[in-house]
Amino acid sequence: MAQMTMIEAIREAHDVAMAADERVVVFGEDVGFFGGVFRCTAGLQEKYGKSRCFDAPINESGIVGAAIGMAAYGLKPVIEIQFADYVYPAYDQIVSEAARLRHRSNADFTCPLVIRMPTGGGIFGGQTHSQSPEALFTHVSGLKVVMPSNPRDAKGLLLAAIADPDPVIFFEPKRLYNGPFDGHHDKPVESWKNHPLGDVPDGDGIVPLGKAAIRREGADVTVLAYGTMVYVAEAAAQETGVDAEVIDLRSLLPLDLDTVTESVQKTGRCVIVHEATRTSGFGAELMSLVQETCFYYLEAPIIRVTGWDTPYPHAQEWEYFPGPGRVGDALKKVMED
C-alpha cells in the first residue's frame, strides 16, 4: 500500500503495465519528455525509452488513428487526449474504426486500446477544458466507458482497461486528480493524503470493469453518481441528513445494473447526478433502466441533477456545476413525494 494522488496512481498503473508487457506503448500530446500536462506519464519515457513513451503531434484524429493501427499490429497502446474537450477530431476514428474493427472483421482484427482523457470542470477551465462527453461514447456499440473517482480505482480500473481486449474510453475527473472534491469550492482544498481511497495497493491488481461500488450505505434514496459527483452526493447526504445510498458507478459501459437495481428496489427512490449536460445525457439512460427494472418499487419520480444544457461557462462555473446544494434539494424533494 502507498498513499497516492490520482495522478500518481494513474502513473503507477502505466508503470506496472509497461513493466509487465512490452506491447504496452504510451503516447499523446506532451506525454513524453515532459510527462503530460497533468504529469500522469511522468518518468515513463526515461524508464522505458522513447519508442514506448513519446510525444505526438497535436492531431487527436492522428493519435487515435495511429493507435488503432498499432493495436491492429498487436501492440497495446495507452494514449492520452490532453482534455476530453479535444477528443472530437478523433470521434470518427473512435466510433467508425476502434469500436468497429472486431465486429466488422469478425475478430480478424481487434483493437485493444485505452484512450485516457481528463474530464469535468471545477477548475475554471471554461467551455474548452471542462466538458463531460461520456454520453457521446456510451452511445457507441463496441466501446467501454470508465470513470474512476479515486486513486485506488484509478489504478485498478486503468490496469483492467489495459488488459481488456476491446477499446476503453477512460475518463479522469481532473478536479479529483489531487484530492476529493465535494463541490464546496470555497472550502480549503482537500488532498488524498489520509483518505482511505488514496491508499493504493501495490502490484498489478485490477478493479474489474462493470462493477459499481457503494460509497455510502443508506435506506431512503439511491443516488447514482460517478466521478466528482460521488463526493458531491456524499456531502449532500451528510448535510441534508437524508439517508442516501451513494453508488459510484465506476463503469458506465458495461454498467453494473444489478447493483443499481438492488439498491433502488431497497430504497424505492432514486436521484441521478452527473456533471454533463442533461438532454440525452447518461442520466437519461440510467433513468430508463431504473424505470424498466424498478418501476413498481418507486415511491417517487426519479430526479436528475446535472449540468445545465449550456456550454460550460467560465465565470458562472459554480452556478453551472451541480453542487451539494442542488443535489441536497433533490434529495429533500424526492423524500417529500
Judged by the rule CB under 8 A, the positions of this chain that interact with another protein are 25, 51-52, 56-57, 59, 61-62, 65-70, 72-75, 89, 92-93, 96-97, 100-110, 141-142, 144, 165-166, 210, 253-255, 257
Of these residues, 14, 103, 129, 195, which one is catalytic? 129
Whole-number Å distance between alpha carbons of 65 and 165? 17
Whole-number Å distance between alpha carbons of 268 and 129? 37
Whole-number Å distance between alpha carbons of 203 and 298? 43
Indicate the SS3 state at residue 317: helix
CB 267 within 8 A of CB 217: no
CB atoms within 10 A of CB 268: 17
CB 117 within 8 A of CB 75: no
- To the nearest whole angstrom, how small is the minimum distance from the Cβ of residue 256 to another protein? 9
- To the nearest whole angstrom, how small is the minimum distance from the Cβ of residue 215 to another protein? 22
- Strands 303-307 and 199-200 turn out to be unpaired
- Reduced 3-state DSSP string for 219-241: CCEEEEECCCHHHHHHHHHHHHC
- Active-site annotation holds for 129: yes
- To the nearest whole angstrom, how small is the minimum distance from the Cβ of residue 261 to another protein? 11
- To the nearest whole angstrom, how small is the minimum distance from the Cβ of residue 142 to another protein? 5
